[in-house]
Structure 1
Amino acid sequence: MPSTLPDGDPVPPSGELPASALDGLGGRPFGFYVHVPFCATRCGYCDFNTYTASELGPGASHADYAATAVEEVRRARAVLGTAGLPVETVFFGGGTPTLLPARDLVRILRAIDEEFGLAPGAEVTTEANPESVDPGYLAELRRGGFTRMSFGMQSARAHVLKVLDRHHTPGRAAQAVREAREAGFEHVNLDLIYSTPGESDDDWRASLAAAVEAGPDHVSAYSLIVEDGTRLAARIRRGELPMPDDDVAADRYLIAESMLTGAGFHWYEVSNWAASEAGRCRHNLLYWTGGDWWGVGPGAHSHVGGTRWWNVKHPAAYAQRLAAGVSPAHAREVLTDEDRAVERIMLELRLSDGFPLAELDRPVVVARALADGLLETGPFKRGRAVLTLRGRLLADALVRDLVG
């Protein structure tokens, strides 16, 4: 969740949505994202809307956050009316959600269940820094209805973690996976970052090997992005660290694909691999396939029926608006049919299921992509255009050509 909010149209104080957004409500998958904007320390590469204790200032606190988030859940119910909206996925992200007591996360989840009802077999995930949980904490989350853990491992090498300003020991993520399994979590993800300055191919291979050995059923691997305004960007600008190289990043992706596939994982989105279909992150699939979701928390983004809105950034401003009985939304936009068609291509083409070939209306671009080995079709693809391995490396450029 970027820390800079875009401009947009005003949102009514009530948060009322346009009629077009409510049309078909309940006929699309529905989920909740809950943003917890707190961190113990700020990672040097992070551009998310998060706050350490020294940055938080007056008017907001860890202790009051769950009650404030619950108030937005109740407001969501009022805005969305009485339509049946069983919640298929809930994702707690941040920040570090597990800086809050487990009972606070469970309290927010219960409010969602009370107001909307969790669908049978709903997926409920929280992100966690490996150092922020212990066996007792994980057991309390599992008893409270959480079904999936996502740990920020990033690297198995201490010198790489140091460049990223990550404050956990290299072996702690693997231990956290074991503790989550022992607490009853069937689904566990590890997040990895590659192309950190100073990381070698061998460092990356060691991180992948350590992740696989830890025993998750899902691995996410992202190329490091240098965001303006971060400590990492400042260090690169001063010449203390080299800028990540695109060719190196491509090589690291190929290493990830080879090692993860060899370990029994299968890609289902460009940056995500799962050991089985059940291990896929259903919440992210909801985003990628055009579902509806309500984002709770400061800076959180929501999408319902082609209307997208985003909340005010600072936790104090967010709390003040809810206390005053008004929407915490900062601004919104109503997507045109063309906007939605473009976004559908941008998101769905990144999935291993691909995109319907007949719906790609740029035949010259498609023919060139097929000839260049970026896309594949055929009887086993069920009439869909699917990225090849080379296509995954060039997915962003290909999508720009397809929607340009």
Structure 2
Amino acid sequence: MSPALPLGDAAPDDGGLPASVAEGAAGRAFGLYLHVPFCTVRCGYCDFNTYTSAELGGGANQASYADTALREIELAARVLEGAGLPERPLATVFVGGGTPTVLPPGDLARMLDGARSAWGLAPGAEVTTEANPDSVTPESLAQLAEAGFTRVSFGMQSARPHVLATLERTHDPRRIPDVVRWARAAGLAVSLDLIYGTPGESPDDWRASLDAVLATGVDHVSAYALVVEQGTKMAVQVRRGDLALPTEEDQAAKYEIADELLSAGGLQWYEVSNWGRTPAQACQHNLAYWRGDDWWGIGPGAHSHIGGDAGGGLRWWNVKHPRAYAERLEAGLSPAAGRETLDLATTRLERVMLGVRLADGLALDLLSTRARREVAGLVADGLLDGRAALGADGHGARVLLTLRGRLLADAVVRALTD
């Protein structure tokens, strides 16, 4: 099961927001995350807030979920208007999970229509859904495109059947070229998501997965190192000795292989774990997270963030279980379980932690005085680009990770934060 919700202040039953969140809102993009908490099978490594039908009781079924989510969309529109926030059309919509495409395309379309009615979509808005390769058909993808979706992100994870079996993924890797072709025929942009470092995955297995991705010609790839979270089935398998985790050296070597092959295939990194063919093909919704824009999270366990760089922003999170989520909305209450007000120090800390990971770099003047003194040492250690730190590349003095720095990004963040 997924980890416990964070501790925080009590959230009001009406979901009301303080006036401080409206400050500077006109200069921030606004996006919507919509969580669909259903999967046909729970993968052994997954700790997301997801459920199979066997885990859910009454009041939390897939058939009624779209109606429940639409109630929160209506509540969100009222709350944002009540907080005096300027009218902003949605720059991005991201439907994640779980497996959103276990719902009928008509349900996903209705939820998108509800968001469109509440706020409108900005010109060129990015509208993404996640999907498993075995949860779509040419017809369902065409229906999603007709409804206004512009992008689909497939959870490929690996091209090797034995790696997928260890991860307990259910799709046939031979289906990947088909689903990419179907999505493109429907007019959807396509991203493929990979995981490296699965127990039993060799370097050749990893290269085969990257080769398979590049053979599809997709314009976006995400590649994440496997992290085995406590409480998952895989954590138990590792503890018992049934599975052996890879070494840090193995993980680092696989990251370098990914960057080498994806770069040679015309995809450039724009965030430590993400590559796009052009800046326009980067995931704009995720960039909004990393840049500190505003978003409302719809669904059980979903997180939201409204507020700017000057402090006074707010972050909150919904109750976790779909049944509790549905019951609160049916009673006319906000599903928020708790929230926290973000002071200036916290906002700046998060800006550094996330901004450092981007290929655009982080302006040097956003660092504290102490952190700026660390930059020269990080350059000397080969973790930061020296020309970028001096502003000699024409983009202003900034923190920019080298390839070695991307491998040790967490260490760089620790050095640059107080």
Q: Settle same-fold status: TM greater than 0.5.
A: yes
CA distance in 1, matches of 2:173, 2:36: 24
2:401 to 384, 387, 395: 387
**Correspondence for 1:170 among 170, 173, 198:** 173
TM norm structure 1 = 0.98
Aligned residue type for 1:112: A
- SS of the aligned residue for 2:27 comes to coil
Secondary structure of 1:69's partner? helix
Structure 1 residue 170 displacement after superposition: 1.2
Alpha-carbon distance, 1:26 to partner? 3.3
The residue aligned with 1:320 is 327
Q: Tell me the equivalent position of 2:374.
A: 365
Q: What's the offset of the Cα at 1:243?
A: 2.0
Is the 8 Å Cα contact of residues 175 and 214 (structure 1) preserved in structure 2?
A: no
Deviation at 1:310? Answer: 0.3
| Superposition deviation, residue 2 in structure 1 | 4.8
> How far off its partner does 1:363 sit?
2.8
Aligned 8 A contact 1:125 1:147 in 2:
yes
Is the 2:11–2:338 Cα contact (8 Å) retained in structure 1?
yes
Specify the code of the residue in structure 1 equivalent to 2:375.
Answer: V
Q: Secondary structure at the match of 1:331?
A: strand
State the Cα RMSD in Å. Answer: 1.1
Which letter does structure 1 place at the counterpart of 2:336?
A
Deviation at 1:181, TM superposition (A): 0.5
Letter matched to residue 367 of structure 1: A
What secondary structure is seen at the aligned counterpart in 2 of 1:237?
Answer: helix
1:309 aligns with 2:323: no
Q: Is the 8 A contact 2:372 2:416 kept in 1?
A: no
Asked if the contact 1:158–1:170 (Cα under 8 Å) also holds between the matched residues in 2, the reply is: yes
Conserved 8 A contact 2:364-2:372: no
Secondary structure at the aligned position of 2:399 is classed as: strand
Partner residue, 2:227: 225
CA-CA distance at 1:175 after TM superposition: 1.4
Q: Aligned partner of 1:228: which letter?
A: Q
What does the per-residue CA deviation read over 1:87-113, in whole Å, with 9 as the maximum and x for residues that have no partner?
Answer: 000000000000000010110111111
Aligned to 1:34: 34
Output the CA distance in 2 between the equivalents of 1:99 and 1:272: 26
- Residues in 2 aligned to 1:117 and 1:9: alpha-carbon distance in whole angstroms: 31
Q: Secondary structure at the match of 2:96?
A: strand
Q: Which residue, 124, 129, 135 being the options, matches 1:126? A: 129
One-letter amino acid of the counterpart of residue 76, structure 1: A
Paired-residue identity, %? 58
Partner residue of 2:359?
352
- Residue type of the partner of 1:106? A
C-alpha contact 1:34 1:90 (8 A) present in aligned 2 = yes
The equivalent of 1:184 in structure 2 is: 187
Runs of at least 5 residues in structure 1 that lack an aligned partner in the other structure: none
> Structure 1 residue runs of 4+, over 3 Å off?
none
- DSSP 3-state at the match of 2:350: helix
Q: Structure 2: which 5+ runs fail to align?
A: 308-312
Q: Which of the residues 149, 153, 160 maps onto 2:152?
A: 149
Provide the rounded CA distance (Å) in 1 between the counterparts of 2:356 and 2:29. Answer: 19
Deviations 1:302-327 (A, max 9, x none): 00012000000000000000000010
Task: Please say if 1:64 is aligned against 2:69.
Answer: no
Distance 2:105 2:199 in 1: 35
After superposition, the C-alpha distances for 1:52-106 in whole angstroms (9 at most, x for unaligned) are: 0100112111110001101100100100006211100000000000000001011
Report the Cα distance in structure 1 between the residues aligned to 2:250 and 2:262, rounded to whole angstroms: 18
Deviation string 1:106-158 (CA, Å, 9 cap, x unpaired) is 10111111011111110000000000000000000000000000000000000
Counterpart contact for 2:11–2:337, Cα < 8 Å: yes
1:21 aligned residue: 21
How many residue pairs align between the two structures?
403
1-side partners of 2:417 and 2:95: how far apart? 32
Counterparts of 1:45 and 1:290 in 2: how far apart (Å)?
29
Letter in 1 for 2:417: V
Q: Deviations over 1:23-46 (max 9, x none)?
A: 233331000000000000000100
Cα deviation, residue 4, structure 1: 2.0
